[in-house]
Structure 1
Amino acid sequence: MTTAAPSPVAPAPADSAGNWVDRYAPAALRPFLRLARADRPIGSWLLLIPCWWSLALALRMQAANGTPAFGHAAAWAALFAIGAVAMRGAGCTWNDILDRDIDGRVERTRSRPLPSGQVTLTGALVFLALQGLAGLVVLLCLPGFAIWVALSSLGLVAIYPLMKRVIWIPQLVLGLTFSWGALMGFAVLVEALPAPAFLLYAGSVLWVVGYDTIYAHQDREDDAIVGVKSSALLFAGDTRKWLVGLYGAAVVLIGLALGMAGAGPWAWGGLGIFTVQLAIQIGRLDIDDRALCLRLFRSNRDAGLVLLAGLLADALLA
């Protein structure tokens, strides 16, 4: 595969046109905002949702003991939102720094700010440091136990972009990284990690592996040409069967977390709708339809929010 030399004035990706970055952000900031994927907030949502799940489930456990800290939980929820945006942006920036040569050879990513020349490597490194500083401010607002839990995820964040060169399911490392928030709600509210926290985390990991496999099918052919590994390449035509297993196990593990936390009917109803939504994804999947894969991937935000609504209602009405 051959590519043209990157241009410093390369246009924004076609599927980014019309988003808030292109409409409202100053022209000089747009490449950096695209580097952080601010024009594609779905990633921040998917990073944040497990954080909010864990807050809601920890609240439910507190409610069972007669000590729900709703005010504290609302404050932590807001702080988690800020942290998710900052750390997702930093993670995308780090990923693009490491993958800048690969991205230039993949159709969907060659217009990203680094391979297209819109941002220099030095500029990307400075921007990464600024986002890391924002994440540090959020980190220092957490209780001591939660700080250590959060810091434990940094190794995963650092190595994830390299995993596509090493293992056939780099999505597993993404799942381990993106699901870390499933521990954080417990860490800030109860300053401990009870069994439901680990079950929720494990369920979230499998959910992430599933939906990111759907996402990866957009790049399946380019990944094969470039020589990087992906669960989309590994599962190939058996992807639907793998999703049944991944999503099915995710639902079982999350259900076990709910059961151990003493969740009530609202939480189970949310899990039920979440399960139906995942089943719809499996039923509709066509791995050769890139646009459909993107829509199914994005639908996981709504699935996650439905489960969150059930968990919150259950905690509030307990």
Structure 2
Amino acid sequence: MIGIIFATEMEAQPFLDRGGPEGVVTVICGMGMEAARIATEELIEKYDITTIINAGVCGALINRIERGAVYRVSMVSTEHLKAGVNVGIGIGLKRLVTVDEPVFEPKRKKELSKYGELVDMEGYAVARVCEAHNIPCILIKGVTDFGDGSGKADIQQHIASVSETVAEKVDGASRSVATKRDAPSTLKKLRSFTKVEHTIFSLPLLFAGAWLGAGGMPSIKVLLLIALVGLGARTFGMAINRIFDKNIDAKNPRTKNRELPSGKLTLAQGYGVALVGIVIYFVGCVLLGTTVLKLSLVPLVPLALYSLLKRFTPLCHYGIGICLGLAPLGAFVAVTNSLVFTPEVVLLAIFTFCWISGFDIIYALMDIDFDRENKIRSIPAALGASGAQLVAAITHLVSFAALVLLWMSVGGTFSFMALLVSAGAFGAAYLQSIPVHVRFFPISAIAGIAGALVVLLG
């Protein structure tokens, strides 16, 4: 199902008159980011949405744009939160800034032009919700005015004709999406299922553990094998987690579109992914030597079981902390073939354990109501949002304290800069103006990578 969101009836009517392809539901959300956010959430919850198109009129922030022109958007942001959402790649696409009030003053227009060429009042909210639900989003905007003193009159004069042009573009885009939606590649579905790209952000912590074991840079061969083991372990863990949580995910509006509950992948395919991950993991362990192979079952236990913890204890977030906290220790063993850990690698493991555990608590804030209704154990469900963020903050203070001690042992000027970046990311995790899913990713990744760089740049 394709969801199409317009702010006003006047913008939507030309498209509604066209009819559009089958499998399209059109919503008029009202003006403003909050109205757009609510409408997008409700659309996703009510229908099996595969793509959302937000369309309508906008203002131009630079004079070389023509009135009546219709553009696809490449990135949308707000003036307060510069971390935008990427919604398109291609030649001729424009950047969009979403604001709370219409722009009719040249001074305001000039300020906003630093962030984009177009301005609207809904696009960012729609794109953020789509990003949180892993749903593709297309923004199509037609220019009615230039954000100056004549803006109100220009909108009234040109909204009808521009909306006709927008409707034509939306009709073409929706038909194009409709022809492609029924046959997403298996590779794309598997990539989404395993979130392979997220593995990249855990590799620096593995490499940091190896670095401490070698007293410097290990051989390229060892680093590649460690990366292989990390990829296999994470693939196995993610697949098992999604398999165990299939029925829970199906009930949760936020996760019901995931591959297993939505039927995009079968349970057999899910187990197949887990099997591939475990094979990759053991191949890497064998190539890293006897000591690693003997200990190879140790990380698999928490990887296989941590997703079950939410059925029994609100401390489940620390289960994933154990999984990732073992990573630098395992890399250390891969290099040294010894279980005699140095204080530095222990501090790195503590940092990693508390870093991801705290961010997992923050991530669970998105499901606090669902968890309570379905008796899912989590710290937010048990303590509420404020209590959960306090626990997460204490956990992160321990993490950062371990990182400071680590820097005092191995660090230098460049690693101190990484320490400051990590501190900034930890702080950003508690800014309420930043959406929870953004605080979890990419902010958590920034904190973790910077923590690893404290070692790698030391």
Could you say which TM-score interval applies, normalised by the shorter chain?
A: 0.7 to 0.9
Amino acid across the alignment from 1:34: S
Amino acid across the alignment from 1:305: I
Higher strand share: 2
- Deviation of 1:265 after TM superposition, in Å, equals 3.9
Aligned positions of 1:11-22 closer than 5 A: 11=50, 14-15=130-131, 16-17=134-135
- Which of 368, 381, 404 lines up with 1:233 in the alignment? 381
Q: Measure the CA separation in 2 of the matches of 1:163 and 1:212.
A: 13
Q: Measure the CA separation in 2 of the matches of 1:140 and 1:247.
A: 35
Q: Residue 254 of structure 1 corresponds to which residue in structure 2?
A: 403
Q: For 1:111-168, what per-residue CA distance to the aligned partner results, in whole angstroms no more than 9, with x for missing partners?
A: 1111112222222222321222122212212132233444311111111110000111
Q: For 1:185-222, what per-residue CA distance to the aligned partner results, in whole angstroms no more than 9, with x for missing partners?
A: 32122223223222221221111111111111112221
Give me the CA root mean square deviation: 3.0
Amino acid across the alignment from 1:295: V
SS of the aligned residue for 1:122 comes to helix
Q: Residue 213 of structure 1 corresponds to which residue in structure 2?
A: 361
Q: TM-score, normalised by structure 2?
A: 0.57
Name the CA shift for 1:114/1:262 in 2 (closer, same or farther; >3 Å): closer
- Deviation of 1:262 after TM superposition, in Å, equals 4.2
Q: Measure the CA separation in 2 of the matches of 1:18 and 1:273.
A: 31
Aligned positions of 1:48-197 closer than 5 A: 48-59=203-214, 62=215, 68=216, 70-72=217-219, 74-192=220-338, 193-197=341-345
Q: Measure the CA separation in 2 of the matches of 1:114 and 1:212.
A: 22
Name the CA shift for 1:149/1:254 in 2 (closer, same or farther; >3 Å): farther
Q: For 1:24-48, what per-residue CA distance to the aligned partner results, in whole angstroms no more than 9, with x for missing partners?
A: x96233333322124xx23x23433
Gap regions ≥5 residues in structure 1: 63-67
- Which of 432, 454, 457 lines up with 1:285 in the alignment? 432
- Deviation of 1:311 after TM superposition, in Å, equals 2.2
Amino acid across the alignment from 1:296: R
Query: Of the two structures, which has the highest relative contact order with CA contacts closer than 8 Å and spacing of 6 or more?
Result: 1
Q: Measure the CA separation in 1 of the matches of 2:228 and 2:432.
A: 33
Q: For 1:243-286, what per-residue CA distance to the aligned partner results, in whole angstroms no more than 9, with x for missing partners?
A: 33111111112333444x5444433442233123212322x136
- Which of 30, 35, 51 lines up with 2:193 in the alignment? 35
Q: Measure the CA separation in 2 of the matches of 1:263 and 1:310.
A: 6
Amino acid across the alignment from 2:360: D
Q: Residue 245 of structure 1 corresponds to which residue in structure 2?
A: 394
How much identity, in percent, do the aligned residues show? 19
Name the CA shift for 1:55/1:12 in 2 (closer, same or farther; >3 Å): farther
- Asked if 2 retains the 8 angstrom alpha-carbon contact of 1:47 and 1:88, the reply is no
Gap regions ≥5 residues in structure 2: 1-44, 53-129, 138-179
- Which of 437, 441, 451 lines up with 1:294 in the alignment? 437
Name the CA shift for 1:45/1:179 in 2 (closer, same or farther; >3 Å): farther
Q: For 1:72-128, what per-residue CA distance to the aligned partner results, in whole angstroms no more than 9, with x for missing partners?
A: 1x3333333333333222212111211111111001111111111222222222232
Amino acid across the alignment from 1:240: Q
- Asked if 2 retains the 8 angstrom alpha-carbon contact of 1:50 and 1:179, the reply is no
Name the CA shift for 1:276/1:98 in 2 (closer, same or farther; >3 Å): same
Q: Measure the CA separation in 1 of the matches of 2:415 and 2:211.
A: 10
Q: TM-score, normalised by structure 1?
A: 0.79
- Asked if 2 retains the 8 angstrom alpha-carbon contact of 1:105 and 1:226, the reply is no
Name the CA shift for 1:308/1:17 in 2 (closer, same or farther; >3 Å): same
Q: Residue 65 of structure 1 corresponds to which residue in structure 2?
A: none
Q: Measure the CA separation in 1 of the matches of 2:251 and 2:319.
A: 23
How many residue pairs align between the two structures?
288
- Asked if 2 retains the 8 angstrom alpha-carbon contact of 1:169 and 1:231, the reply is yes
Name the CA shift for 1:142/1:91 in 2 (closer, same or farther; >3 Å): same
* Larger deviation, residues 194-203 vs 170-179: 194-203
Name the CA shift for 1:313/1:244 in 2 (closer, same or farther; >3 Å): same
SS of the aligned residue for 1:206 comes to helix
Amino acid across the alignment from 2:426: L
- Asked if 2 retains the 8 angstrom alpha-carbon contact of 1:106 and 1:223, the reply is no
Q: For 1:282-314, what per-residue CA distance to the aligned partner results, in whole angstroms no more than 9, with x for missing partners?
A: 2x136xx7xx11111121212222333342222
Q: Measure the CA separation in 2 of the matches of 1:147 and 1:306.
A: 30
Is 1:307 the counterpart of 2:451? The answer is yes
- Asked if 1 retains the 8 angstrom alpha-carbon contact of 2:201 and 2:445, the reply is yes
- Deviation of 1:12 after TM superposition, in Å, equals 7.7
Name the CA shift for 1:37/1:57 in 2 (closer, same or farther; >3 Å): same
